Amino acid sequence: MTKARLPRPEPRAVAVACDGVRVPVATEKLAELSRQVLRALRVPRAMLSITFVSARTSAMLNRKHLGHTGPTDVITFALGADPSGAVIGDIYICPDVARAQALTHGVGVREEIARLVVHGTLHACGWEHPEDETRMSSPMWRRQERLLRRLWITQSHRA
């Protein structure tokens, strides 16, 4: 009798939730994008949550945890690693801010949301960028844009 093999669980667990907001991209597609970023960074194990929140919730998180006024695009809480070394983090994304940024930058809202998923995943893995005018030329930003092109933009054109 041959023993049936059960599929191995995904070591890079990513859960995506929408907290009362609409997101124009399938949540599983965004979870897979985050897992692809983790693979590209060679993160062997992770437990990430990505929650899409309202502008009001984003503003509250921004004020409470960063001391800033108003909603923001993405806030990441890199919670370190568990005893097994798995990266743990919570990512909060505001689709309303993403829509406004997409218009400002002349990109589609789906691309901007994907950019924020990549950005938040990088932060959860310990990547940082400056908060000044050099932000968009920082190593983290360059890495983010390369990953976005490779994992999202080129993939979207194939489908």
Express the helix, strand and coil content of the chain in percent, nearest 5 each. 50, 20, 35
Structure tokens at 72: 């923001």
Q: What is the mean pLDDT of residues 113-139?
A: 89
Element holding 14 (H helix, E strand): strand 12-18
Name the pTM for this structure: 0.89
* Predicted local distance difference test score (pLDDT) of residue 155: 62
Task: Please state, in angstroms and as integers, the Cα–Cα distance from residue 47 to each residue in 39, 44, 103, following that order.
Answer: 13, 11, 32
* Domains of the chain, residue spans: 12-158
Architecture of the domain whose range is 12-158: 3-Layer(aba) Sandwich (3.40)
Structure tokens at 150: 């490779």
Q: Pick 8 or 31 by higher pLDDT.
A: 31
pLDDT digits (tens, 9 = 90+) for 82-110: 888 889 999 999 999 999 999 999 999 99
Phi-psi region of 148 (alpha: psi -120 to 50; beta: other; left: phi over 0): alpha
**Is a pLDDT exceeding 50 seen at residue 136?**
yes
pLDDT digits (tens, 9 = 90+) for 20-72: 999 999 999 999 999 999 999 999 999 999 999 999 999 999 999 999 999 99
Q: Which residues of 80-112 are buried (b: 16+ CB within 10 A; e: fewer)?
A: ebeeeebbbbbbbbbbbbbebbbeeeeeebbbb
Tokens 């979207």 locate to 156
